[in-house]
Amino acid sequence: MPELPEVENVRRSLESLVVGKTIQHVDVRLPRIVRTPDDVRQFEFMLSGCTIEGVGRRGKYLLFDVPPYTLVSHLRMEGQYRLAERGEETAPHTHVVFTFTDGTELRYRDVRQFGTMDLIGPGEPLPKGLQSLGLEPFDPQLDPHTLYQRIHHRTAPIKAVLLDQSVLAGLGNIYVDEALFRAGIHPERPANRLTKAQCERLLGVIRDVLQEAIDAGGSSIKSYVNGYGRHGAFQMALNVYGRDGEPCRVCGTEIVKLRVAGRGTHVCPVCQMRPRKRRTSHKTRNGTLLRTTGEKEFEA
């Protein structure tokens, strides 16, 4: 799924390609892509005559400013936008076509058909997923103390917490794996076991990884391309994600793949020490044998 760097690159490309263009008409070929309004014919009618005045982003969502509406688009797994000339051959799996008055077309293609579009009018609520987003990693309001406060009551593995979009918006499997590697934190470490110093380091590396990925055009692991049809290059710089069985770029140890929070997770066993087993001890109180279990200990 495209994450913050990929969606940001799509946003930037679309900003230069379609801002200022006026929509002549819209053709929705797969109705389930459009969630709001319920009637796709109404969706097509409402957008006709509107001008795209901006393209924003919130987390992994694209926000097209088409006054008086906001078109919220989530690419999900493999959604793509491409600008084409009218009459140009249409690629398979093209589900929505925005035709502009200048003769060009913005085409939405989605092989997996998981993407969504919501056309939101003035005063109407945003989609629930967008409403529940937390701060973005680059938000000036987010500092190490704030991150610590957001996670220090959570007992779930830190990877699961970072994937929670209500905690931090925009992170996904690729960049969580990469950030945890750089921070030297095992993905199974309970979030509430991170110190304030570790939170400071983690926030710093999250920002570094995301900025480097944005500058490289994102990561094209499968089908990701930006609005110009260009692939990203950051996949060439990944330290752990997708590199199971290969040597760690830092220590040479073989990268292993685990399953954490239901997701394939890539770890260096040396740079990110695994949790020790729980320790069990026995003691007596007034002649009664008691069994106590210590907390997991981590070495990262």
Whole-structure pTM value:
0.89
- Placement of tokens 């499997």 in the chain: 173
Least confident of 9-18, 219-228, 275-284: 275-284
H or E segment at 201? helix 196-215
Q: What is the pLDDT of residue 198?
A: 97
Q: What is the pLDDT of residue 293?
A: 44
pLDDT in tens, 53-63: 999 999 999 99
**pLDDT over 90, % of the chain:** 87
Q: Would you please indicate which residues are annotated as catalytic (active-site) residues?
A: 2-3, 60, 263
The Cα–Cα gap between 269 and 257 comes to 10
Q: What is the pLDDT of residue 273?
A: 83
Q: Return mean pLDDT, the chain.
A: 92
pLDDT in tens, 195-225: 999 999 999 999 999 999 999 999 987 788 9
Query: What is the DSSP secondary-structure string of 92-117?
Result: TTEEEEEEETTSEEEEEEESS---EE
**Domains of the chain by start residue, with CATH:** 4-131 (3.20.190.10), 144-237 (1.10.8.50)
Q: Which residue has the higher pLDDT, 287 or 169?
A: 169
Residues 6+ apart with CB under 8 A from 43: 26, 28, 34, 36, 37, 117, 119
The answer to whether residue 174 scores a pLDDT higher than 50 is yes
**Beta-bridge mates of residue 259:** 264
Q: What is the pLDDT of residue 67?
A: 98
Nearest Cα residue to 272 out of 292, 255, 293: 255
Axis crossing angle, helix 196-215 with helix 4-18, rounded to the nearest 10? 40
